[in-house]
Structures are given as C-alpha cells and as structure tokens.
Amino acid sequence: MAKAETEAELDGTEFDHTVSWWGPAVIAIGLVVSTSTFAGGFIMVGEAGPAFVIALLIGCLINLFAALAFTEMTTMFPRAGQIYEYTKQAFAKHGSTRSLTLAAGIGTGYWLLFGLVWAAESTAGSSAMVQTLDIGSVVLWILIFNLIAVGINMLGIGTTLIIELLLIIVNLGIRVSLGVVAYLGFTNAGASNAAVLTHQFAPFGWAGVLTATTFGVWAFLGLEFATPLVEEVKNPSKNIPKGIAIGAVIILAVGLVMGLGVASVFDPAVRQAVYLGNAPQIEIGGLLLGDLGVGLTGIASFSATLGALLAAYASIPRIIYAMAREGLWPEQFAWLHPRFEAPWPAIGLTAIIVLIPTFFSGKVSLLINAATAAWLIAYLWVLGLVIVLKWSHADLKRPFSFPTITYVVGILLTLLVLAGYASQYGLVGGALLLSLAVGIYIVGFVFAKAWVSSQTSETLQEAAISADD
C-alpha cells in the first residue's frame, strides 16, 4: 500500500507543537527520579559510603554527555524517532535498504531494552508498596502501576505532563526532607555526625565506589527521553536542552542532599546491613522516623514509580510510532487518537512487551545492573553517531552543538563503567550481563530485517527520501 494511501486511512499521524520547556524537564526528571533510583541511591550509599558522591558525579557526567549527543542530533533532525532517526540519517548514503534495516534494528532494540528498565522500576515500586501496606502482591502492584500509567498516557501529553509534575513535587519533596531532617538530627536514629562524611569517606575502598558507579549512572539514566517529544515541543532547539539541563541539576541536587544527609546518621555497618534490599528506602524511612517515615517513603515510592512509568509511556512508544509512520513497522502503530493526539496502538504494544520480563523479575539491584549495561551500549552507539554526523553532515545546520572531544570523553567514561562489570561480577558474570544487553539488540535486528524485507520498494524509497529531507 502506498504511503499516501496509508496516511489517508489514518485519523492522523502528526503531532502539534504545544509543549514549552517545562515539558522536557518534567519528562527528564519524571523518568529518572523513579523508585528504582530511590532504592538505588540508598544501595549506592551502602556500597560506597559517603564516597557515593564520586559515583553519582561520574554517573551525572556520562548521562550529560549522552544527553548532549541526543540533543544535538534531535535539533539537527527534529523528528520523534530519536535513536532510529539518528541512525537512519547517519547511514542514509550507504544504500536505502541496508541503512533502513540498521536504523529500524537499533530503534527496535532500544525499545525492547526497556523491558529491563520496566522490570527494575516496576519491581522496586511494587516491592515498596507491599512492604509499606502489606496489601496485595508484587505482581498485583505491577499491574496497577502500569494500567494507571497507560490510561493516563492515552489522554494525551498535556494531561500526562500535569499529573507528572504533581507526582514529581511530592516525590522530590519527601526525598529532600529525608536528607535534611537526617542531617539536622531530627530523627529516631539520633544526631548526625558530619565528620563521618570525611573521616569515613570511603569505608569500603575504591572497589565499593566502582560497584556503586553503576547505581550512579542509573541515577540519571533517562535524561535524554525528553528528545522523542521534539515534534510536540515549541522551539525544540532551545526548550529541549533547557529542560534537560534543569532536570540534571535538580536530580543531582536531590541525590546529594538525600544521600549525604542519611549517610551522616548511620555508620557503615548499618548502611551495608539495611541498604541492599529491594526497597531499602522503606526500611531507612522506618529507622529515621518510625511509622511516619515508612508512610512518607511509601508515598514517595508510589509517586516515583507512577511518575517514571508515565514518562516512559510518554516517550518510548513514540520511537515505534515514528518507524511505523515511515513504513518500517506495521502501519497500525502510526495511528494517533484524533482528539488526544496520543499513539494508542504504540502505547498498548509497549505495555504488553515490557511487562513480559517484569513478571519474571526478582532482585532490583541485579535488574538495575542489567538494564544499565544495555543502556550504556546504546549510549556508546549514540556518542559514536554524533561524531560520525559531524563528518558526514558537516554542512548541516546545528542549532545546538558541542565539540567532538566532549563526546570522546563520554565514550571513555562509558567504557570505564562497562569494564567495572568484570570486577563486580567477574569476567564470566560481566560477560553474561553484556551478552544479555547485546542479545536484546540482536532480537531488534531480526525483527527489523524481516519487516523491511517484506516491504515494497516504493515504501522503502519513501522512507529513504525522508532521510534526505
């Protein structure tokens, strides 16, 4: 079927630019300040002590370098396909079928890896709910969280952003409060000891810092998910970088206040004893403020998980929507609801696929490590793409750009963290985690190759032409 005929049958396949800078900021913050980063923040302190600050800063830098690369390419090619769109543009001159298959494979693999992310986040949030309320099961709460997030996203990006903002205020307010009251000594755990932050800065050595670095990276993963909203943001070359920068600063500030405050109260032995479960924030809340602390961390966990899933369902489905719009995915997934301008089929399929690994998930810290490995491989690809595009599209206008050396440093830091998996899990364990990540992309390539091969030459030509526009 010709592309024109396909679009004629659909109620609509184009977004309106209605979102200002606060939209990208809300999505970036909402996806990142999840329950898994709430739990991961405490696990990070438990692994490294006050030296978690180093792990947090390394994680911030890696994610900022990647976010800069995403933003530079998004403002060069302002379309919703994100990593798919960048890959297509970078390899457009290497033959239409080959470059489109590569782009669709990368896009599909990137979409699939969120199964690990959803598993980590849904398990963390649901474990917190069971531990706080002692009602239901982890599986039941996983379904509740995802059904609510899908339902809200079906109502469109405007409704999603408003609810997301309210959840962020509640979530971050409680996190900051925990750190402040702990540092001021207004807790059941007694007075804080600021000297611990210096005299026992790295109680578990640099090996602990290296282990914690994965959680430092995880604490910021997702900053770039403001970029799939590029077709809905007004003046994206200005508002997307602004939103991401604001998001990064807020996330870093909250992580430092919460982590340093709580680390000043508990000695290292206590930190390692209680910080390493699926929902350490609930136990820490109880130790600090009793039942009130349990209730507050439970509310923060609910807000964090729902907020993260809202942001994810707002961003990730738009990748397959963009591929479907160009004929590289089934055309049904390019449909937008005529009133809410939400890609309902893409959102629904995303929910079904990402929930599969969620129901088989277990230990949150292991899920975070697996998802981080898969994501860092994607970051290496994107950092490489932006360098390639500086050469292959040297004359193309770049509304937002950074020097090549910035991205080279990002690649080196990313490789350093990936190398840390060998020290954390051993050569075999680290290789298995990385193999799992690579396997996700292989599945994406297999699907993409099969689908692209089934398309007519006319469809492929039109998709290739869009890479030249």
SS3 per residue for 237-261: HHHHHHHHHHHHHHHHHHHHHHHHH
Q: Is the pLDDT of residue 421 over 70?
A: yes
| Residue 173 reports pLDDT greater than 90 | yes
Q: Helices H, strands E: what count in the chain? A: 19, 0
Q: Which of 81-90, 168-177, 182-191, 422-431 has the highest mean pLDDT?
A: 168-177
Per-residue pLDDT tens digits for 183-206? 888 888 777 777 777 777 877 788
Q: How far apart are CA 137 and CA 122, in angstroms?
A: 12
| The predicted structure's pLDDT at residue 19 | 64
Q: How far apart are CA 114 and CA 436, in angstroms?
A: 13
| pLDDT for residue 107 | 84
Q: What is the pLDDT of residues 310-358, one digit of tens each?
A: 888 888 888 888 888 888 888 888 888 888 888 899 999 988 887 877 7
24-33, 160-169, 349-358, 402-411: the lowest-pLDDT one: 24-33
171 phi and psi, to 5 degrees?
Answer: -60, -55
List of domains in the chain: 3-11+20-468 (1.20.1740.10)
What would the pLDDT profile of 372-382 be if each residue is shown by its tens digit? 888 888 899 99
Lowest mean pLDDT among 16-20, 47-51, 330-334: 16-20
Highest-confidence segment of 64-73, 114-123, 214-223, 235-244? 64-73
Residue 256, class by beta-carbon neighbours within 10 Å (0-12 exposed, 13-18 middle, 19+ buried)? middle
> What are the Cα distances from residue 174, in Å, to 182, 260, 287, 298, 364?
12, 15, 15, 10, 22
Which residue, 215, 163, 168, 161, is CA-closest to 52? 215
pLDDT of residue 295: 94
Average pLDDT over residues 278-297: 88
Predicted local confidence at residue 458, as pLDDT: 63
Q: Please count the other Cβ atoms lying within 10 Å of the Cβ belonging to residue 212.
A: 29
What is the per-residue pLDDT for 132? 92
Average pLDDT, the chain: 81
Residue 221: name the closest of 315, 322, 80 by CA.
315
Decide if pLDDT at 23 tops 80: no
Q: Which of 392, 329, 391 shows the shortest CA–CA distance to 101?
A: 329
Tokens, residue 127: 């474990």
**Structure token digits, residue 33:** 């300040």
Greater pLDDT, 203 or 87: 87
Mean pLDDT to the nearest integer, 250-265: 88
| Alpha carbon distance 207, 47 (integer Å) | 9
What's the pLDDT score for residue 10?
A: 39
